[in-house]
Amino acid sequence: MPTKIRDGAHALIECLQQHNVEFIFGYPGGANMPIFDALLDSPIKLILVRHEQGATHMADGYAKSTGRAGVVLVTSGPGATNTITGIMTAHMDSVPLVVICGQTITPNLGLDAFQEADVSGISYPVVKHSYLVRDVQDIPRIMKEAFYLAETGRPGPVLIDVPKDIAVATFEPDYNVEMQLPGYKIPTHGDSAKIARAADFLNKAKRPLLLIGHGALISDAGKAIRILAEKMNIPVTNTLLGKGAFPENHRLSVGMLGMHGTAYANFAVKDCDLIMSIGSRWDDRIIGKPEVFCENAVKIHVDIDDAEFNKVIRPDCCIQGDARHVVEELNTVISPGDTTEWIKQIDKWKKKYPLAYKKQGGLKSQFVLDELDRLTQGEAILTTDVGQHQMWAAQFCKTLYRSHWLTSGGAGTMGYGFPAAIGAQLAYPDKQVVAIVGDGGFQMTLAELSTAVLNKLPITILIINNRYLGMVRQWQALFFDNRYSGVDLEGNPDFVKLAEAYGAKGFRIKRNADVARVLTKALNYVDGPCVVDAEVEKEDNVFPMVPSGQPYSDMVLEPPKHKLAKPVGST
């Protein structure tokens, strides 16, 4: 585009246009008013949110489902600090965001001016990079660098703090300016010698297991992983964030592993003689007790970020590189071994220890989610909040495609699911989007019902309503002698009436017999968002369960008859 004199705000918006930004999720204030004014001259659509945390989760949902950076625009002070939870959520899960904050004028920096906050300093631990713009001439370069940093290598959030006087200063922008990122290199292909070593390990293994994490989704390694698994007849387990990198209805899939993974996935982890992690960082929900995790197995780690190597465990072979490129090269040098007996054993475990629940009694969360899976057949994009419903959804809702499962993994952020669904629905208006939320988490960001209603987004919001903070209650029941403290959500609103107050459609489920009929109605409702209040049993626990910090051999398959030892770590 031809250059001419611009103020900083208009130059910033033009930079966003050059990066083909479709939506900005934002909230205005005094410090970012010039940027909001410039938005009026832009084709970029503003999604006006009701809270800045909601904006970051919407941008996160958009980014996770598209692979492109989600963009947030907020004002200074509390507007900026309200984004920190969402920025941390994105940082923990390697999600590309560009968060633009208004700031007080440059002469007032450090003087405790009205609505001033050192958001660059506050955000440093939870961003990939943070900028404070001090010269209007730097805007084109900083914007170019921000998107490049956010979207490449191991993705993550980048924050740009723009003082108001910089936003109104005029200059002649150079949109072809060179980036200045000395030392920033993006690993692509792995070391061939190490790949050959990994192939040798795989060729000799009798009981190998592939562990697929979020990095495999980010790199779009699914096709290469499927070729590897089928060529070598290797079972595949996935992390919570790795759902969708390998279809969970495939004969070689054993589903999710870890604290609330399937029993057969966890048995496979315990008995394998080789485990190969592709894009997983060996987090504590997977490892349990590090010193005995797969202690007799060869461990291979493929990751784009070498900071993850030897951080939690010490693998026998570490390969730094893009997961897709590494696996594609690996596929050219492997020789299939004989895993027939191993697969037979996996199949025996699947038959003996299936995911199950008692259908007698009141309405079960598992039954509701099982029916949702049956009705959607893996075609819907599912987002979740954090807690029991998240684990049950991960167990019973099979993910078949990339970017059809959006959840908060590392941070475990309550309130994530519904705003993330808004971002995903905007990204894919023709796809079915279902937000699976708990009654606790939903109330943290439910004000975004206004955002969904105003934008006529046909999102189905399924509330697994047990009137408890269910996962905390479960731990208090199992490890604290049923001493419930701070988990009873007495005072919940009538969610159907609440939905109607916002102009959304409300449905209620109370009985097993209502589930299929009501869910079908809700899924077919396309005139805007709808809320389904599923009033499930109050006290039900998620099993299987590996207590935090304990080995896989301590996996609990059903409600224990005795008190369990207090676990290591938090919920």
Domains defined along the chain, listed by start: 6-171 (3.40.50.970), 192-352 (3.40.50.1220), 365-543 (3.40.50.970)
471 included as an active-site residue: yes
Q: What's this model's pTM, rounded to 2 decimal places?
A: 0.96
Is the N-terminal amide bond of 43 cis, ω within 30° of 0? no
Q: How far apart are CA 520 and CA 302, in angstroms?
A: 42
Query: How confident is the model at residue 321, as a pLDDT?
Result: 98
Q: List the pLDDT tens digit at each of the 571 positions of the chain.
A: 456 999 999 999 999 999 999 999 999 999 999 999 999 999 999 999 999 999 999 999 999 999 999 999 999 999 999 999 999 999 999 999 999 999 999 999 999 999 999 999 999 999 999 999 999 999 999 999 999 999 999 999 999 999 999 999 999 999 999 999 999 999 999 999 999 999 999 999 999 999 999 999 999 999 999 999 999 999 999 999 999 999 999 999 999 999 999 999 999 999 999 999 999 999 999 999 999 999 999 999 999 999 999 999 999 999 999 999 999 999 999 998 899 999 999 999 999 999 999 888 899 999 999 999 999 999 999 999 999 999 999 999 999 999 999 999 999 999 999 999 999 999 999 999 999 999 999 999 999 999 999 999 999 999 999 999 999 999 999 999 999 999 999 999 999 999 999 999 999 999 999 999 999 999 999 999 999 999 999 999 999 999 989 999 999 998 876 667 666 655 5
545 included as an active-site residue: no
Q: Buried b / exposed e across 521-545, counting CB within 10 Å, b at 16+?
A: ebbebeebbbbbbbbbeeebbbbbb
Residue located via tokens 């007698």: 360
Selected catalytic residue, list 64, 128, 144, 164: 164
Selected catalytic residue, list 25, 36, 52, 53: 52
Query: How confident is the model at residue 3, as a pLDDT?
Result: 63
State the DSSP code for 299.
Answer: E
Selected catalytic residue, list 92, 143, 471, 545: 471
CB 317 within 8 A of CB 301: yes
Q: How far apart are CA 354 and CA 349, in angstroms?
A: 8
Query: How confident is the model at residue 426, as a pLDDT?
Result: 98
Alpha helices by DSSP H, 382-433: 388-396, 417-427
Residues in the chain: 571
Selected catalytic residue, list 17, 45, 114, 500: 114
164 included as an active-site residue: yes
CA-derived radius of gyration, the chain: 24
Selected catalytic residue, list 18, 22, 33, 115: 115
